[in-house]
Structure 1
Amino acid sequence: MKRQEEEEDEVCLDASFFINDNYQLTTFTFGSQVLELFCLQSASTDFDLTGQLVWPGAMLLNDYLSKNAELLHGSSVIELGSGVGVTGILCSRFCRNVALTDHNDEILKKNTELQTSSDNANNRLAVEKLEWGNFDQTNQILQKYSGGFDIILGADIYILYTRLEKFIRFKGPGQCRFILAYVSRAKIMDSMVINEATRHGMMINEIAGTRSVVGNLEGVIFEVTLP
């Protein structure tokens, strides 16, 4: 009887209960590039905000890419943890093709559909569902993009180098690089980002001149490659 009462008291909440979908159309300017996309305007601990805000790391990465657009011209790019897609959408102005990935792909689809066809940016954008660490989804993406990627992008993401290595090695040593916009929030993570890359046989270098303050946090751009 007691067990039955406990079961009756259990409350099952749908995952959507923790999702704030009050997105607002927002304009971002990076150099000469003006982007419009939907995103949340502020953070709240009442909701799961993963992939719904434009985080400081994305602002740092987009600023760097807009000033170094020659890195992107004609490249095949995949972004890990694309969030609302602000970085991937910027890249689509320059790249051959861009794959935006995240576990919450609905807002990504919404923003890629928003892009006009005037510059054919939407024809170069694709959304792929990727839960970081899901090998089946990773393999499906690599099969779909059989030529691999020239550049891997990441901003404000927790790096699992064992997963990243699969994307980098698929293209071959020296053929693919990972550009990471890292924002420091904990000293233990600062050293881990570098040490883990080295432990997996990768070369990680801070890109000169990219260390700056974003909001009240210190950020930097790293480049990770296979020797």
Structure 2
Amino acid sequence: MEGEEDEDEIVCLDQSFFINDDYQLTNFTFGSQVIQLFCLHSASTDYDLTGQLVWPGAMLLNDCLSKNAEMLQGCSVIELGSGVGITGILCSRFCHDFVLTDHNDEVLKILKKNIELHASPENPNCCTGLVAEKLEWGNIDQINQILQNHSGGFDLVLGADICFQQSSIPLLYDTVKHLLQIRGKGRCKFILAYVSRTKIMDSLVINEAIQHGLKITEVAGTRCVVGNLNGTIFEITLQ
């Protein structure tokens, strides 16, 4: 039967087919801070596993934060789309506590592995106050669960190179606005390291912030070329 032949041709692949977990221990330097962590050096075949890499925006944000470490002193910080955790690990050397989040279970595995690596007493730059949590943007239940453990909210929300899919940007700002409102106007800000890849996304990132009642401002002096792409840092606050 023709229908049966068509069914025979359907191939179902297990999710593990897409997963590349050949992580390499890699050194990164930001100012006087040296960070060693596990990551991939090339992209996975699964678009959803972009968090296994260290992307140019993370390098941009970490360079900026390492030069302005005083802004982190004593702060409580949450990062959206933490990936392998390179920003959180750097910040934890200065801030009070740091919550790293990602939505992908496979990425969360390597994120937690890197936290364990840096939380070891044998590590001369032992980082404390690092926690990894699952967070899908726009998922109020997951956001509230995190806020139950951090009832005072956060001083800073960070994001580095997290604007890839157009459909995710409204959900990103839904999440950001919810987190900013916990502390109230002027008491928390979202710092976004943005790397330009398409003009559509350039406009969307700015316009969606405005539509969510947020003020978005480019941080002076942060525009530069990272990984052959134009990058900049935005500061986003409640109106």
The answer to whether the 8 Å contact 2:43/2:50 transfers is no
Match of 2:188 in 1: 176
Shift of 1:92: 0.4
Q: Which moved more, 1:72-81 or 1:15-24?
A: 15-24
Q: 1:62-81 CA deviation, whole Å, 9 max, x = no partner?
A: 00000000110000000000
The answer to whether the 8 Å contact 2:191/2:235 transfers is yes
Match of 2:110 in 1: 107
Question: 5+ unaligned residues in a row in structure 2: which ranges?
Answer: 164-168
Q: 5 Å matches for 1:44-123?
A: 46-48=45-47, 49-103=49-103, 104-115=107-118, 116-117=120-121, 118-121=124-127, 123=128
Q: Taking structure 1 as reference, are residues 3 and 134 closer, same or farther at Cα in structure 2, changes over 3 Å only?
A: farther
Please give the secondary structure, in 2, of the residue aligned with 1:136: helix
Match of 2:139 in 1: 134
Shift of 1:9: 4.6
Please give the secondary structure, in 1, of the residue aligned with 2:144: helix
Please give the secondary structure, in 1, of the residue aligned with 2:98: strand
Count how many residue pairs are aligned between Structure 1 and Structure 2. 225
Shift of 1:145: 1.1
Whole-Å separation in 1 of the counterparts to 2:224 and 2:115: 29
Shift of 1:133: 2.6
Match of 2:31 in 1: 31
Question: Greater helix share, 1 or 2?
Answer: 2
Please give the secondary structure, in 2, of the residue aligned with 1:50: helix
Shift of 1:14: 2.2
Counterpart residue identity of residue 171, structure 1: R
Whole-Å separation in 2 of the counterparts to 1:203 and 1:136: 26
Q: Taking structure 1 as reference, are residues 94 and 170 closer, same or farther at Cα in structure 2, changes over 3 Å only?
A: same
Shift of 1:194: 1.5
Whole-Å separation in 2 of the counterparts to 1:52 and 1:213: 22
Percentage of pairs with the same residue: 68
Whole-Å separation in 2 of the counterparts to 1:165 and 1:171: 11
Q: 5 Å matches for 1:157-176?
A: 157-158=162-163, 159=169, 160-176=172-188
TM-score normalised by length of structure 2: 0.88
Whole-Å separation in 2 of the counterparts to 1:119 and 1:217: 32
Shift of 1:107: 0.8
Q: Which moved more, 1:147-156 or 1:126-135?
A: 126-135
Question: 5+ unaligned residues in a row in structure 1: which ranges?
Answer: none
RMSD: 1.7
Whole-Å separation in 1 of the counterparts to 2:139 and 2:16: 22
Q: 1:68-116 CA deviation, whole Å, 9 max, x = no partner?
A: 0011000000000001000000000001000000023111001000113
Whole-Å separation in 2 of the counterparts to 1:119 and 1:28: 14
Whole-Å separation in 2 of the counterparts to 1:206 and 1:199: 17
Please give the secondary structure, in 1, of the residue aligned with 2:25: strand
Match of 2:200 in 1: 188
Counterpart residue identity of residue 92, structure 1: S
